[in-house]
C-alpha cells in the first residue's frame, strides 16, 4: 500500500481529485486529497495572507499530524508550487513528486512570469479568478457536458496572493527528488517550456497525456495508471 497526497490547483478543491482518488483507493492505496485554505468548501475562510507558501505549510502539517511516510505527493496546476514548499518542509516524508500539468516556480518568480492569460482575471482584495462564463467556455471547455457542469458548480476564485505573490522557497531546487512530470498536450498553460524546465532540473521522468488541463476529470483512468507506475 502506498500513500498519495493529491494537491489541487487554482479555482479548485480536493473535489477535483475524486475520480482519481476513487481509483487509487480501489487499488488498495491510502489517499488524502485536502482542500487548501480559502478554497472550495473553505472559501468562506478566504482572507489576505494566504500564499503558496502557507498552503505548502498546511500540506506539510498534514503529513506530520497524520504520521504519513513514503508519501507520493502530487500537485496539479498551481498546486505544483504548493508541493514544492511542502516537500521542502517535509523532506524525510517524501517518496516521489508528481507534477501534473503543473507550475514549479523558482524562488522569487511569479505566476505572471510564466502564465500568459487570454483574458484578465476578476480580482478583489482577497481573491482572483476567471469569470464563471470564462471558466465554462475556456477552462472546462474540453470536458463532457455533465462533468463540466459538475466542475463549474464547484469552481471558486483562488486566494489572490497564492497566485500573484512571488514564490518563497529555500533549498528545494538544490535537492534531488524522485520526480515525474506529466504534461497535457492540449493545455495552453503551463507552457511546455516551463514543464520541460522542471523535468530537466529535477531529472524527472516525462509523460504526456493527449488532453486538456484537467486530466483527473477528462482522463482519470490514464492519469491513475501513470500515478501507480512507480509503486506497481
Ranges of each domain in the chain: 3-231
Buried b (16+ CB within 10 A) or exposed e, 124-156: eebbbbbeeebbbebbbebbeeebbeebeeebb
pLDDT digits (tens, 9 = 90+) for 123-156: 999 999 999 888 898 889 999 999 999 999 999 9
Residues 48 and 54: their CA atoms lie apart, in Å, by 11
Distance of CA 56 to the CA centre of its chain: 11
pLDDT digits (tens, 9 = 90+) for 2-37: 999 999 999 999 999 999 999 999 999 999 999 999
Q: What fold is seen in the domain 3-231?
A: Rossmann fold (3.40.50)
Position 60 scores a pLDDT of: 98
Task: Give this prediction's pTM.
Answer: 0.97
| Local confidence band at 210 (pLDDT 50, 70, 90 cut-offs) | very high
Amino acid at each position: 500500500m502506498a500513500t498519495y497526497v493529491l494537491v489541487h490547483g487554482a479555482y479548485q478543491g480536493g473535489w477535483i481529485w475524486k475520480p482519481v482518488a476513487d481509483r487509487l483507493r480501489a487499488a488498495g492505496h491510502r489517499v488524502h486529497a485536502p482542500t487548501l485554505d480559502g478554497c472550495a468548501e473553505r472559501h468562506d475562510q478566504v482572507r489576505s495572507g494566504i500564499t503558496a507558501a502557507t498552503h505548502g505549510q498546511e500540506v506539510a502539517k498534514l503529513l506530520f499530524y497524520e504520521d504519513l511516510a513514503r508519501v507520493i505527493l502530487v500537485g496539479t496546476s498551481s498546486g505544483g508550487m504548493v508541493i514544492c514548499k511542502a516537500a521542502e518542509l517535509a523532506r524525510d516524508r517524501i517518496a516521489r513528486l508528481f507534477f501534473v500539468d503543473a507550475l514549479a516556480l523558482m524562488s522569487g518568480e511569479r505566476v505572471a512570469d510564466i502564465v500568459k492569460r487570454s483574458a484578465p482575471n476578476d480580482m478583489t482584495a482577497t481573491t482572483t479568478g476567471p469569470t464563471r462564463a470564462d471558466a465554462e467556455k475556456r477552462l472546462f471547455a474540453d470536458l463532457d457536458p455533465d462533468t463540466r457542469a459538475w466542475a463549474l458548480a464547484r469552481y471558486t476564485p483562488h486566494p489572490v496572493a497564492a497566485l500573484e505573490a512571488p514564490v518563497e522557497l529555500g533549498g528545494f531546487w538544490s535537492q534531488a527528488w524522485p520526480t515525474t512530470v506529466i504534461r497535457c498536450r492540449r493545455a495552453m498553460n503551463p507552457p511546455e517550456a516551463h514543464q520541460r524546465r522542471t523535468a530537466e532540473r529535477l531529472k524527472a521522468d516525462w509523460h504526456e497525456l493527449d488532453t486538456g488541463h484537467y486530466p483527473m476529470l477528462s482522463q482519470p483512468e490514464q492519469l491513475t495508471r501513470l500515478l501507480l507506475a512507480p509503486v506497481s
